[in-house]
Amino acid sequence: MQKITNNLWFDTQAAEAAKYYTSIFKNSAIGKTSCYGKEGHEIHKMPEGSVMTVEFEIEGQTFMALNGGPVFKFNEAVSFIVNCKDQEEVDYYWEKLKEGGDEKAQQCGWLKDKYGVSWQIVPKILSEMMSDPYLGNTEALMREMLKMKKLDIEKLKAAYEEK
């Protein structure tokens, strides 16, 4: 068991979300599911026998999805970064995760999925370019990235190599 697990609070869509995420990421699986019982009904108000938690794994990272009711909502303060090896991966994860999501919440590789969870779909090369300002034009790179929703590696490279 990993030391720290990401816990995602859903209204009632924990099982649906776990299936959705594991269908997108190739190296993933759904694990244990627990259900609400009679105990605590006066607090949680969930029907007895309904799904309480679903454990799932994506790329070796364990997540817990909790059906906790409409008390809390996701926001952009927390997001998951998907580091992509090439444009094909950027395109794949962008298209899959933005499906049914908030179109207005898309900028600079960020998107919000249909459950309100924020994701950053970024090519691995971006962090390399951004962390070494001596080899390229990071100002031009940033200017180009700010124009984008889904990141385009070739345009980012061209901006970085701009003199």
- Each residue's pLDDT tens digit, 44-80: 889 999 999 999 999 999 999 999 999 999 999 999 9
- Topology agreement, domain 6-67 and domain 79-160: no
Mean pLDDT of the chain: 94
- Among candidates 61, 36, 57, which has minimal Cα distance to 47? 36
pLDDT band at 2 (very low <50, low <70, confident <90, very high): confident
> What is the pTM (predicted TM-score) of this model?
0.91
Please tell us whether the domain made up of 6-67 is placed in CATH 3.30.720.100.
yes
Strands (E), the chain: 6-10, 28-35, 51-58, 61-67, 79-84, 102-107, 110-112, 118-123
Domain 79-160: CATH architecture, name and number where available: Roll (3.10)
Dist CA 65 CA 147 (whole Å): 34
Domain spans of the chain, in order of start = 6-67, 79-160
Query: Distance from first CA to last CA of the chain, Å, rounded?
Result: 49
Dist CA 119 CA 81 (whole Å): 6
